[in-house]
Structure 1
Amino acid sequence: MMIKQRSTITASAMLALSLTLAGCSSSHDADNKNSSKEASSSEVSKTGFPIVQEPIKLKMFSRIAPVNGPFKDMPVFQDYAKQSNIDVEFTEVPTDGFQEKKNLLFASNELPDALFRSSLTSLEAIRYGTAGQLIPLENLINDYAPNFKKLMEQYPEIGSAITTPEGHIYALPTVVTVGAARTDKKWINQAWLKKLNLQEPQTTEDLYNVLVAFRDKDPNGNGKQDEIPLTARASAGVGLGLPIIPMMSGSFGLDTQLGYNINLVDDKVEIWMGNDRNKELLQYLNKLYSEKLLDPEVFSQTEAQYIAKQGSGNVGFFFDQTNNSFLPIQDQYTGIAPLEGPHGDRLQSQGAPVPRDLGSFAITSVNKHPEATMRWIDYFYSEEGSTLLRFGREGENYELKDGIPYYTEQFLNTGNQGKITPYAGGGAPHLISENVASFINPPQVQEAQKKLDPYMPEVRYAAPMFDEETAKKVDVLRNDLDKYYDEQSTKFITGALSFDKWDDFQATLKKLKIDELQKLYQDAYDKVKQ
């Protein structure tokens, strides 16, 4: 299935945008609660710097990736504090365990001023927004976010993805206008292929045979059977199961539309968790696992361990957006196309739309300076602000070539790129464009993306923003279904659960009301489709 990718501009997107930019949405309870706390708009400059004349301090809760250094030591936050007159104190929580800490934050109602790199799902944003813990942002965007507002005008699908049917925006996304930053590439050890006189795999059966050779024929040449044929991240977020599932699902005709395990067939939503193609996918992964071709730590490894394996050169096949983690040995790997599955499917099912990481930034109801906070974050949606965030200081960390920032060779040799920027590790609220993507989109990554492009879906629909009542229903249904699916798919892959129990698995999905959830997604899709 070879299909071209294109962006979508839907009627609902235009409606959402018009509501946002015109400021037509009704006032929200959180606005009223917060009004007595807000700094006067006259104290906040709508353009230029500093943002405020008198220094203020903000507290932000944030995820920190293994590759990052402390935020307080990053040039972007040191320099921007002087430029903006706003000092930010970050509470940094590691990727592993971040979701639990975030849940506790809202449950205890011990809120910071804002959440940065917060990984809020659409359902979480609506839940905490309707509860009054997050404030609506649409009017603040209109008045204090000229950069983000301009992006919404250029890409109306941003408004569609983040605006509720009531016209509220509770969180800002990462905006990704460069295609290679929206997919995980399929990296294979070409040095091992060459040594063993093997061709790049084209089908899932080819991949199986290559992985067997990686396991048995000592491609690293140390005389030990210590190679890792295939590995993947241990966590992709609830609802998508193990990351290995969406990374391989396209070979079995299974897409991830609307931010979920969904195929769109003749404008019909099909949640595929219980269908026979998913069974075949899990059986294939079970075969790899049982024959020690799939890394047994794929269920438990930390993000740091996964990244270290990429850089070790001792992995045959893995998935990642870019080549940052294996730069010193980049020539050892090459990107390959999606694999053709047993029924001829060859789809790049994993990927993101222009508004990626939809809940990257949010402002809470305890914030006394929401206008200044919006001006503060808006800078990172400009080319200038994004360059500072991603590259640090000109001369010290990067140099400009034809107007494009590149890390200096001296700085690259330090290996400290991830230490100076919060973008490394993903999910930071900012603009990722062609002009600021030289490090994550070098020639090797561009070539890997070209292998995926012919197999991208024609339209990649973002997770829908349900109305508040429906969002609560979806939240309840998905809480049970996602947990059950994640647990059972893991058991099927490891062999802890026999495929003889597949009928029971399907029956339980029915009991957990998967059909009702499918109808809710169908209704949402009907409102946004072209």
Structure 2
Amino acid sequence: MNRRKVISTAMACFISVALLTTACSNSDNQAASSQSPAGGKNTPTTADAAGPLGKYETPIDVHAVRGINGSYKFPQGEDIGNNLWTRAYKDELGINLIYDWVADNSGGSDSAFSKKLNLMIASGELPDIVAVNAKQFKQLAENGQLADLTEVFEKYASPYTKDVAKQDGGMAMTSATIDGKLLGIPGFNGNITDANVLWIRSDWMKKLNLPDPENMQDVFNIMEAFATKDPNGDGGKGVVGLAANKNIYDGFADLESFFNAYHANPSGTWIKDASGQLTYGAIQPEMKPALAKLQELYKSGLIDKEFGAKDAAKEAELLGQNKLGITFGANSNPYYPFDDARKLNPNMDWKAYPIPSIDDKPARPSVGFPIGTYYVVNKNYKHPEVIVKMFNMNFEKFFGETGDWNTWGVTKDRLEAFKWPFVYGFPPNKDVPGRYEALKNAVASNDPSAMNGEQKADYDAYQAFMNGDQTFWSTVRQAGPENSSFAVLNHYKENDLLYTNEYRTSVQTQTMTLKWSTLLNLEKEMITKIIVGAPLDEFDKFVDNWKKSGGDQITKEVNEWAATQNK
């Protein structure tokens, strides 16, 4: 039931792979040659390392398991067990990271990696440290297999790591705490980059002398102008007013945001009703007026007549054909698909706007729970602090005061370097307000001295663009001081407009596991049918069918889960 979103940066578009340590690999030649029983212990003579980034006096072995992606790229002679990060763990921390096995994780929960890890969990034989999903985390916690990290986090977490843990108001750390014990370190990540924005062809708006939209009625007027006043100069043939695709909810040509404009929250979002109980957003009455308007737009020719047969990539072809001017989508759309379209239409420009509202009540974009991965330690392992120390190193080398982005981050010669550390997470405020505010302030003062490596890369890109280098258009439209998606996300943050899912979607109830995909398909089918002309009564039929087909039981289970979170 997780919604598909495009993540914020070239680096972040791979974050789910990095956090879950997933995917294809050749496990036979990648696994470490040094093997030991899962949960192996170090010798009692090993001295504890002092401080957050202190080195163990006597190096310690730390056994783990991992999946790696077939796209991982290593310099000649290196692999997942011998690379920039494994050497840093050993040389700077005295941690000898040994992968007992690696496996292919393509296919998600049905992958070889997931199946093998689930067998380990069921057998009770765990490596010293391991990355697990929320369901596995819950199972391990219930089985009493995890080390309590409460004290070691307090003792060993660096000031920066502790700051990261507080940036989301403690949401991530709370999710990793059960019965007052911190049983894992969450793969920190902010959910603000999950929020979509409204993208409009600004060059067309300028040509037609159209003002910026302040509400949804303004957006409807712009749609009609684009479709009828020949903004592309081809005689007014075939321009689509609003992008849509058959998946309904997506990182491009998204319609979830349209529903958000009507204060509806579909796509796996759970909200609280008047009594404080959780209820599913897509079955609420706010859906109906939005559906009615979408049907009207489709009938008027303002939505692609073939959207029901196109995925997002196929709908994006309209961009290159110069026939699309409005879409709801991800903050990263300037990289894809706009950048490809601009190569065919160099004068194309886009501006980002907050999702407008249909009335005087602000629209609130829906965002999911940001944590999908937990890094845990076998309760029998003598050095549970290693996982905290690894996080300290991760944050310091990527984002800290002594960090070197050109070595540890995303560069042309080390594009995949950020995938190699065993642990990985984003400071929730890294992009917004982090990168956005840093660039805005540096541009205003013409002084980048306070920026970290990643932020300085944004500044250099901005200066190059302002000097005429169009290859940096995408960076500027994502992170720039104005007219960018980060500027919109910052507006959401400053005005407390994000609607965070009340239910942690990464934890599926028993009935969800069996029936959620079917229910979500029913939801999308209902929306598509109504858009293309079915009576609005189809929504009421869907609600009844959804409840009878497992929705009522899921709602009961979700509320039972919610009750446990308050204990």
Q: TM-score range by the shorter chain?
A: 0.5 to 0.7
1:418-457 deviation per Cα after TM superposition (whole angstroms, max 9, x unaligned):
655459xxx9523243266634644234432355357634
Partner of 2:366: 350
Partner of 1:163: 177
Partner of 2:487: 447
Partner of 2:59: 53
- The structure whose Rg is larger is 2
Is the counterpart of residue 81 in structure 1 residue 86 in structure 2?
yes
Partner of 1:505: 542
Structure 1 window deviating more from structure 2 (267-276 vs 292-301): it is 292-301
> Displacement, 1:505?
2.0
SS at match of 1:362: strand
TM-score (normalizing by structure 2): 0.60
* Contact 2:264–2:286, Cα closer than 8 Å, also in 1: yes
* Contact 1:140–1:371, Cα closer than 8 Å, also in 2: yes
* CA–CA distance in structure 1, aligned partners of residues 283 and 270 of structure 2: 10
SS at match of 2:545: helix
Partner of 2:14: none
> Displacement, 1:210?
3.0
* CA–CA distance in structure 1, aligned partners of residues 379 and 234 of structure 2: 58
* Contact 2:271–2:502, Cα closer than 8 Å, also in 1: no
For residue 286 of structure 2, the aligned residue among 277, 284, 290 is 277
Partner of 2:468: none
Partner of 1:203: 215
Seq. identity, %: 12
Q: Partner letter of residue 519 of structure 2?
A: Y
Q: Partner letter of residue 286 of structure 2?
A: R
For residue 382 of structure 1, the aligned residue among 395, 414, 423 is 395
SS at match of 1:281: helix
1:315-357 deviation per Cα after TM superposition (whole angstroms, max 9, x unaligned):
532322344545796981211122222x5543223236xxx63
> Displacement, 1:494?
2.2
SS at match of 1:126: helix
SS at match of 2:187: strand
* Contact 1:492–1:499, Cα closer than 8 Å, also in 2: no
Partner of 1:333: 350
Q: Partner letter of residue 355 of structure 2?
A: P
SS at match of 2:175: helix
* Contact 1:134–1:365, Cα closer than 8 Å, also in 2: yes
Pair 1:87–1:168, CA change in 2 (3 A): closer
SS at match of 2:111: helix
Is the counterpart of residue 183 in structure 1 residue 195 in structure 2?
yes
Structure 1 window deviating more from structure 2 (188-197 vs 107-116): it is 107-116
Say what the alpha-carbon RMSD is for the aligned residues: 5.4
Q: Superposition pairs for residues 429-448 of structure 1, below 5 Å?
A: 429-432=425-428, 433=430, 434=434, 438=455, 439=458, 441-443=479-481, 444-448=484-488
Q: Give the number of the structure whose residues are more often strand, by fraction.
A: 1
TM-score (normalizing by structure 1): 0.63
Q: Partner letter of residue 45 of structure 1?
A: A
Where structure 2 has 5 or more consecutive residues not aligned to the other structure, the ranges are 1-36, 91-95, 435-450, 459-477
1:458-505 deviation per Cα after TM superposition (whole angstroms, max 9, x unaligned):
885764599xxxx7xx60243456324311121123228764333332
Is the counterpart of residue 493 in structure 1 residue 493 in structure 2?
no
* CA–CA distance in structure 1, aligned partners of residues 512 and 230 of structure 2: 44
Structure 1 window deviating more from structure 2 (503-512 vs 166-175): it is 166-175
* CA–CA distance in structure 2, aligned partners of residues 136 and 172 of structure 1: 14
Q: Partner letter of residue 70 of structure 1?
A: Y
Partner of 1:8: none
* Contact 1:347–1:457, Cα closer than 8 Å, also in 2: yes
Partner of 2:40: 37
Partner of 1:483: 517
Compare relative contact order (CA 8 Å, sep 6+) and give the higher one, 1 or 2.
1
For residue 360 of structure 1, the aligned residue among 355, 365, 373 is 373
For residue 72 of structure 2, the aligned residue among 70, 73, 76 is 70
